[in-house]
Amino acid sequence: MDTQERLRRLPKVDDLLRHPTVAALLEEYPRPLVLDALREAIDVWRARLLSDAGIEYDESGLLTDATSRVALKSQRSLRRVINATGIIVHTNLGRSILSERATAAVAEVAGSYSTLEYDVVTGERGSRHTHCEELLCKITGAEAAMAVNNNAAAVMLALAALARGKEAIVSRGQLVEIGGSFRIPDIMRESGATMVEVGTTNKTHLADYEGALTERTGVILKVHSSNFRVVGFTQEVGLDELVLLGAAHGVPVFEDQGSGVLVDVRQWGLPHEPTVAESIAAGADLVSCSGDKLLGGPQAGILVGREHVIRRLKKHPMARALRLDKLTLAALEVTLRTYIDPEAALAEIPVLRMLSASKDEIGVRAAALAERIAERVGDRAILDIADDVSRAGGGALPLADIPSVVVRIKPNGVSAVELERRMRRAEPPVVARIKDDRVLLDPRTLSVADESGIVDRVASVLLGAG
Ligand SMILES: *Cc1c(COP(=O)(O)O)cnc(C)c1O
């Protein structure tokens, strides 16, 4: 049979619509998606028939292809995954996950009218700033506070409000890039502030700042080196010294703290990470941090500091462009409320729970998880547990190895790479690490429900894989 003849056997979309399989798809999925899937499947078959003279058109093959295509098209793009990497604030997997109470508050405010900008006591218009300001002040000891879309926005707003058309002094050791497009020099330029670099990459002295102060100085900026450390022959000027210098010259000192730690992480054996309250106590006029790094809340940029400084920020025209939406505000308020009781914060905020879990605790969970998987998969894999490290992630505590225990799976019949790939393509996807030809699962970032999901997933991949 010649190629033209073979191609003529390919159906038109209209012909396929009468097929019972397609009728069933139309019951379940929107018509435009079914039509797209059929067209794509026909195109694939046309290309196949053209490229290989040995192939004959097969209707059931085409319909199977179209069915999987329409299922894929209907799948939500942004959806849940199981994070078995042990990286707590995993930037690509959505950074922090919210507490149950915060999640419930988001759902409530999303599906109802709310007190977003309405004061139920007076019956008059309220301000969206009120929901978090008092809480932030209580937790950090600051005079005033506000929250915007993310910490990049917070830094942008602060520089624009304090130093547009003026100079901002910053140490050369702190001209950092955080995750691609956030670079201090670029943000500085976009904010309209003129950057005045002082010191060197490894050492900056108080005299360097002092020598750079002029009547055009709008702010002294200190950036927390969150995702890297300069080690060896180094010197940075402490916040307390900068505060004295700023006060003597009437220049506000602004610290971009990055991670947003509200509790002392040394209690869990981690290296000291200054808390926002410590920076306020040291006298910083303004401190910014992220809401979804170690704070454990939603994506947000938190700004706390002196009343007159926050007032300038709130009044700045850019504040409106960078303002938080109600869903984020709901999550942030509940997360901050949880911090009022430190024990509740530790019990309820997932990031803190994961960060504080001891190696022994993780070890017990790892052993139980390994046993559950081994029971299901039998000789299809060799399972054991081993010491490893978890990470804070999100650029926080970059040098901190958090001792952990992982489940190691060495599959029989398929490679570790293939097992990892199939787990990742399952529903929900499981994201895991590979090391020494084994798939590693770190229980630190898993919920109890996640663990059951993983057992089922690994079992179905390995038992189905032959
Ligand atoms: C993460 C980080 C930022 C950016 O914060 P986002 O919340 O991601 O916008 C800015 N500065 C520092 C020091 C950071 O660590």
Q: List the CATH number of the domain containing 447.
A: 3.90.1150.180
DSSP 30: -
Mean pLDDT of 239-256: 97
Cα distance between residue 142 and residue 303, in whole Å: 10
Q: Considering the domain boundaries, does residue 406 fall inside one?
A: yes
**Same domain flag for 311 and 361:** no
CA atoms within 13 A on the CB side of 269: 9
Look at residue 395 in the predicted model and tell me its pLDDT: 75
In this model, does residue 466 exceed pLDDT 50? no
Task: Identify whether residues 66 and 107 lie together within a single domain.
Answer: no
The pTM for the full model equals 0.93
Q: Where is pLDDT greater, at 316 or 273?
A: 316
**Residue 301 domain boundaries:** 100-348
The larger pLDDT score, comparing residue 179 to residue 92, is at 92
Q: Rounded to a whole number, what is the largest CA-CA distance in the chain?
A: 92
State whether 164 and 305 are in the same domain.
Answer: yes
Note whether residue 222 is domain-resident.
yes
Per-residue pLDDT, 1: 66
105/241 same-domain check: yes
Burial of 29 (C-beta count, 10 Å sphere; 0-12/13-18/19+): middle
Binding-site residues, ligand 1, Cβ < 6 A? 150-152, 155, 178, 182, 223-224, 226, 256, 258-259, 290, 301, 395
Task: Report residue 50 CA to chain centroid gap.
Answer: 46
> Domain boundary at 348, 382, 404, which?
348
pLDDT digits (tens, 9 = 90+) for 135-146: 999 999 999 999
CA of 371 to the centre of ligand 1 (A): 40
Percentage of the chain lying above the pLDDT 70 cut = 98
Residue 252: how many other CB atoms lie within 10 Å: 23
Q: Are residues 8 and 47 in the same domain?
A: yes
In this prediction, residue 419 carries a pLDDT of 96
CA of 255 to the centre of ligand 1 (A): 12
User: Are residue 342 and residue 361 in the same domain, yes or no?
Assistant: no
Please say whether the beta carbons of 68 and 41 come within 8 A: no
Residue 166 inside a domain? The answer is: yes
Alpha carbon distance 119, 87 (integer Å): 41
* pLDDT above 50 (res 43): yes
Question: 90 pairs with which residues across the strands?
Answer: 95
User: Hunting for tokens 């026909």 — which residue is that?
Assistant: 42
Structure tokens given for 352: 């803190």
Interacting residues of 442 by C-beta distance below 8 A, sequence separation 6+ = 84, 85, 86, 362, 388, 390, 404, 406, 433
Q: What's the mean pLDDT in 22-47?
A: 96
Q: Which residue, among 227, 291, 217, has the nearest Cα to 254 in the 3D structure?
A: 217
95 part of a folded domain: no
Cα→Cα distances 311→203, 252, 305, 315, Å:
34, 14, 10, 6
- Tell me: do 136 and 255 sit in the same domain: yes
Number of domains in the chain: 3
Same domain, 181 and 327: yes
The predicted pLDDT at position 391 comes to: 94
Domain assignment of residue 262, yes or no: yes
CATH code for the domain of 305 = 3.40.640.10
Asked if 321 and 280 sit in the same domain, the reply is yes
| Ligand 1 centroid from CA 178, angstroms | 6
b/e for 122-161, b at 16 or more Cβ within 10 A? eeeeeebbebbbebbbebbebebbbbbbbbbbbbbbbbbb
pLDDT tens column, 156-186: 999 999 999 999 999 999 988 876 678 999 9
Report residue 397's pLDDT band, with 50, 70 and 90 as the boundaries: confident
- 367 with 384, same domain: the answer is yes
